[in-house]
A and B are shown apart, each in its own frame.
Chain A
Amino acid sequence: MNSFLTALFSGTAQGAIYALVSLGLVLVWRGAGIVNFAQMGQAMFTTYIASQLIQHNYSYWSAFVIALVSGAVLGALVDLGLMRPLTSRKNSQLLNSQSMRTTIPVIASLGILGVLKALAGILWAGEERGFPSPVAPNAIKIGSTNLAITGFDLFVIGVVFLTLVLTTIFFTKTGMGLAMRASALNPEVTRLSGIKVGSVRTLGWAISGTASSLAGLLVTPRTNLSPNTLDLLLIIGFTAAVVGGLSSLAGSVLGGFILGYVISFVNVYSAPENVFIAILAFLLLALFIRPQGILGSKEVRNV
Chain B
Amino acid sequence: MSKVKTHKIIGLRSTLLAIVFFIFIILLSNQFDAYNQSQLTNIATLLIAVFSITLLTGASGQISLGQGAIMAVGGYSSALLVTRLGFSMWISFILAIFISALFGLFLGLAAARLSGPYLAGTTLVMALAIPSIAVRFEGFFSGDVGLSVDYGNPPDWLTNLLGEISIEVWSLYVVLPFTAIALFAVLNLSNTRTGRTWRAVRDNEVAAALAGINIGRTKVIVFVCASGLAGLAGALYGFRGLVAPSVYPTDLSLTLLTAAVIGGLRSIGGAIFGTFAIVFLPDLIEKITKNFAIPENIGTYLPALTIGLLLLITVILNPRGAAGALEHLRHRKRH
Q: Do chains A and B touch in the complex (CB under 8 A)?
A: yes
Q: Give me the interface of A with B, judged by CB distance under 8 Å.
A: 29, 34-35, 37, 82, 85-86, 91, 94-100, 102-104, 106-108, 110-115, 117-119, 121-122, 125-126, 231-232, 235, 238-239, 242, 246, 271, 273-274, 276-277, 279-280, 283-284, 287-288, 291, 301-302
Q: Is B293 close to A, CB under 8 A? A: no
A274–B134 Cα distance when bound, in Å, is 11
CB of A111 within 8 A of CB of B315, answer yes
Task: Compute how far the CA of A235 lies from the CA of B125 in the bound complex, rounded to whole angstroms.
Answer: 6
Identify the B interface with A (CB < 8 A).
Answer: 57, 60-63, 65, 110, 113-118, 120-122, 124-126, 128-130, 132-133, 135-136, 202-205, 250, 254, 257-258, 261, 265, 297-298, 300-302, 304-305, 307-309, 311-312, 315-316, 319
A111 vs B307: C-alpha distance in the bound complex, in angstroms? Answer: 8
| Residue of B65, B122, B202, B258 contacting most chain A CB atoms (<10 Å) | B122
Main secondary structure of the interface of B (DSSP, over half): helix
Partner pick for B254 among A34, A114, A115, A126, CB 8 A cutoff:
A114
Give chain B nearest CB distance to A303 CB in angstroms. Answer: 9
Write out the residue numbers on chain B whose beta carbons fall within 8 Å of the beta carbon of A98.
Answer: 61, 202-205
The residue that B120 contacts in the complex, of A86, A96, A106, A246, with Cβ under 8 A, is A106
By Cβ-Cβ distance, the 3 closest A-B pairs, closest first, are A99-B61, A114-B308, A102-B116
How many Å from the CB of A288 to the closest CB on chain B? 7
Most buried by B among A111, A274, A279, A288: A111
Say which residue of B116, B129, B133, B304 sits within 8 Å of A121 (CB atoms): B304
Closest CB in chain B relative to A94 CB, distance in Å: 7
- Residues in B with CB closer than 8 Å to A111 are 308-309, 311-312, 315
Cβ of A107 and Cβ of B311 under 8 Å apart? Answer: yes
Report the bound CA distance from A122 to B301 in whole Å.
6
State which of A108, A117, A288 has its C-beta within 8 Å of the C-beta of B312. Answer: A108
Q: How far is the CA of A85 from the CA of B313 in the complex (A)?
A: 13
* B257 contacts A283, C-beta separation under 8 Å: no
Distance (whole angstroms) from the CB of A131 to the closest CB of chain B: 19
For this complex, 18 residue pairs linking A to B, each with C-beta atoms less than 8 Å apart, are A35-B120, A99-B62, A99-B63, A100-B61, A102-B117, A104-B319, A111-B309, A114-B254, A117-B301, A121-B297, A121-B301, A122-B298, A122-B302, A125-B297, A231-B250, A232-B128, A271-B136, A273-B132
A37 to B254 alpha-carbon distance, docked (Å): 12
Are A115 and B133 within 8 A (Cβ)? no
Find out whether the CB atom of B135 lies under 8 angstroms from the CB atom of A273.
Answer: yes
CB proximity of A232 to chain B, nearest CB, Å? 7
With A102-B116, A114-B308, A231-B250 known to touch, is A122 a contact of B297 (CB < 8 Å)?
yes
Q: How far is the CA of A221 from the CA of B131 in the complex (A)?
A: 27
What is the CA–CA distance of A157 and B298 in the complex, to the nearest angstrom?
38
Q: Tell me whether B125 and A283 are in contact (CB under 8 A).
A: yes
CB distance from B309 to the nearest CB of A (A): 6
Q: Are A274 and B136 in contact (CB under 8 A)?
A: yes
| Contact, CB under 8 Å: A283 / B122 | yes
Q: Determine the chain B residues whose CB is within 8 A of the CB of A103 once the complex forms.
A: 57, 61, 63, 116, 265
What residue of chain B has the Cβ atom nearest to residue A303's Cβ? B115
Contact status B117-A106, CB under 8 Å: yes
Our pick among B61, B300, B311 for the contact of A110 (Cβ within 8 Å) is B311
Q: Is the CB of A284 within 8 A of B110?
A: yes
Q: How far is the CB of A293 from chain B (nearest CB, A)?
A: 11
Neighbouring A residues of B204 by C-beta, 8 Å: 97-98
| CB pair A126 B297 closer than 8 Å | yes
Query: In the complex, A98 Cα to B62 Cα: how many Å?
Result: 11
Q: How far is the CB of A24 from chain B (nearest CB, A)?
A: 14
- Taking a contact as CB atoms under 8 Å apart, the answer to whether A29 and B62 are in contact is no
Name A234's closest neighbour in chain B (CB-CB): B124
A45 and B181 CA atoms in complex are apart in Å by 44
Complex interface: chain B residues within 8 A of A100 (CB): 61, 202, 319
Given contacts A114-B304, A125-B297, A238-B125, A82 and B312 within 8 Å (CB-CB): yes
**Nearest CB on B from A234, distance (A):** 8
Checking A246, A276, A291 against B132 with a beta-carbon cut-off of 8 angstroms, the contacting residue is A276
Apart from A108-B312, A238-B124, 8 more pairs, CB < 8 Å: A99-B116, A100-B61, A104-B315, A106-B120, A110-B254, A112-B312, A238-B125, A287-B122
B125 touching A35, Cβ below 8 Å: no
Q: Which residues of A are found within 8 Å of B304, using beta-carbon distances?
A: 114, 117-118, 121
A242 and B121 contact, Cβ closer than 8 Å, known pairs A96-B203, A273-B136, A287-B110: yes
Give min CB distance, A238 to chain B, whole Å.
Answer: 4
For residue A107, which residues in chain B have a CB less than 8 angstroms away from its CB?
63, 257, 261, 311, 315
Which residues of the partner chain B approach A291 to less than 8 Å between Cβ atoms?
113-114
Closest Cβ of chain A: how far from B121's Cβ, in Å? 4
Q: Are A99 and B319 in contact (CB under 8 A)?
A: no
Chain B residue nearest to A117 in the complex (CB): B304
Q: Name the residue on B nearest A25 (C-beta).
A: B121
A116 to chain B, nearest CB (A): 8
**Pairwise interchain contact B308-A115, C-beta atoms closer than 8 A:** yes
B129 to A280, Cβ gap below 8 A? yes
8 Å CB contact of A302 from B115, B121, B316, B319: B115
Indicate whether A37 sits within 8 Å of B129 (C-beta atoms), given known contacts A95-B319, A110-B254, A115-B305: no
B136 contacts A277, CB within 8 Å?
yes
Which A residues touch B309, using CB under 8 A? Answer: 111, 115
| Residues of chain A contacted by B118 (CB below 8 angstroms) | 35, 242, 246, 287, 301
**Residue of chain B at shortest CB distance from A278:** B129
Determine the chain A residues whose CB is within 8 A of the CB of B205 once the complex forms.
Answer: 98-99
Provide the bound-state CA to CA distance between A197 and B292, in Å. 48
